[in-house]
Amino acid sequence: MRDDKPPLGPIESGQLPLVKAPDSIWSSILASLDEDRAPVRRGTHWWVLAAAFSLASAVVLWLTIRPKPPSWEVSRLDGAPSVGSRRLTDSGRIAVGEWLQTDASSRARIGIGEIGSVEVEPNSRVRLLAAKPNEHRLALDRGEISAVVTAPPRLFFVDTPASTAVDLGCAYKMKTDESGSGLLSVTAGWVALEWKGRESLVPAGASCRTRQGDGPGTPYFADASEAFRDALAAFDFQKGGSDSLRVVRGEARVRDTLTLWHLLSRVGRDERVRLLDRMVELMPLPQGVSREKALDLDADTLGRWRQELAWKW
């Protein structure tokens, strides 16, 4: 190869001489390539693998031990109910915030933690609101549920548009229609319906209507006369007033003192006197229950009176 030095001064186009690179340059380039390759093969590769493995292990561990969102077990009874956007084929879970929906041919059972269960009837829509040790809460938007609870009272709640059903150790059915109005029927124990400070205590064998905007009505026994039930509904939701109460008093039997007792605190003094007089006709005031204190709605007096009346309900 010629060892020509480049010409001094401007080079005319086409005049740049072609010169071959010396062998020493190629040798030095090859040597430097070998040096660069060796460190990667020996150290860096293992470090990357180790780091990747550690990261993967940490992710798996986190996925395993992380607290799962609270949820209840759901099982299909008939048809194909849905939880959220998922069709339930056999069993699954409903998480807090999710909706369970049944169509005309489907039913489902929800396990209320460890304390009971709720059966959801066709054409119903319920949502899990809370699943905590001291609060188990569902919302019934529409449709019907049957609940059986074996826990101490005030652990299970069902919110409807017209009231909240508070379990006091019981079994009951609750339904709500599209207008938000509903009906509670208790088959064991007690259920309280509350709404904006209004409270109705419903024992086994009794029912209570609810109306959106009015809250819970007055509890009554299902075997009361039709005239009694109609007059009560008129008083509760249609401003039936004294006329309705006259029918209620006239139709009342001994066990209908459940209704009369609740009405005492929902009427004025004059009506209260008439109600109390009718109650005493049906069942004499027990010892220790003062007429005047009852008319004054003394809480202890009313509580003791109810305790005795309940033996006839």
Partner 1 sequence: MEMVRTMKYVSLLLALSLSALGADFMLAIGNPAAASIPSTVSPTGGGPVPTKVSKDALFAVRPEGCANPANARITGTAEGLVDGTRQSAALRLLPGSIPGVYVVSREGPPQGVWVVKLTGVCGGAKAGALVPVARGGFQRESAKFYPRPITEAEVEATLKSLSGGAR
Query: Which of 83, 131, 162, 192 is close enough to bind partner 1 by CB under 8 A?
Result: 192
3-state SS, residue 86: strand
Stretch that binds partner 1, among 23-31, 85-93, 203-211, 267-275 (CB under 8 A): 203-211
| CA nearest to 278, candidates 259, 304, 292 | 259
**Contact present, 124 and 101 (Cβ < 8 Å):** yes
Q: Residues 188, 233, 282, 295: which binds partner 1 (CB under 8 A)?
A: 188
Site for partner 1 in 271-310 (CB under 8 A): 303, 306-307, 310
Interactions with partner 1, residue window 160-179 (CB under 8 A): 166, 168-171
- The yes or no reply on residue 189 touching partner 1 (CB under 8 A) is yes
Q: How far is the CB of 266 from partner 1 (least distance, A)?
A: 16
Site size for partner 1, by CB under 8 A? 29
Minimum CB distance to partner 1, residue 117 (Å): 12
Alpha-carbon gap, residue 155 to 144, rounded angstroms: 20
Binding mask 111-150 for partner 1 (x = CB under 8 A): -------------------------------------x-x
- Which neighbouring-strand residues pair with 182? 176, 210
Closer of 148 and 233 to partner 1 (Cβ): 148
| Residue 244 identity (one-letter amino acid) | S
The nearer residue to partner 1, 235 or 313, going by C-beta atoms, is: 313
Site for partner 1 in 254-273 (CB under 8 A): none
Judged by CB under 8 A, which of 45, 154, 253, 291 binds partner 1? 154
Q: Distance (Å, rounded) from C-alpha 171 to C-alpha 189?
A: 7
**Cα angle 33, 34, 40; round to 5:** 95
Q: Does 215 sit near partner 1 (CB under 8 A)?
A: no
CA–CA gap between residue 236 and residue 86 (Å, rounded): 41
Q: How far apart are CB 308 and partner 1 at their closest, in Å?
A: 9
Matching residue, tokens 């039913």: 107
Token pair listed for 86:
């998922």
Helix H or strand E segment including 72: strand 71-78
Q: How far is CA 85 from the centre of its chain?
A: 17
Q: Would you say 5 and 19 are in contact if contact means Cβ atoms under 8 Å apart?
A: no
Name 107's bridge partners. 78
**Separation of alpha carbons 250 and 241, rounded Å:** 15
Q: Which of 70, 79, 111, 153 binds partner 1 (CB under 8 A)?
A: 153
CB of 54 to partner 1, least distance (A): 50
Contact residue for partner 1 among 121, 141, 159, 194 (CB under 8 A): 194
Q: Which residues bind partner 1 (CB under 8 A)?
A: 148, 150-154, 166, 168-171, 187-190, 192, 194, 199, 201, 203-205, 303, 306-307, 310-313
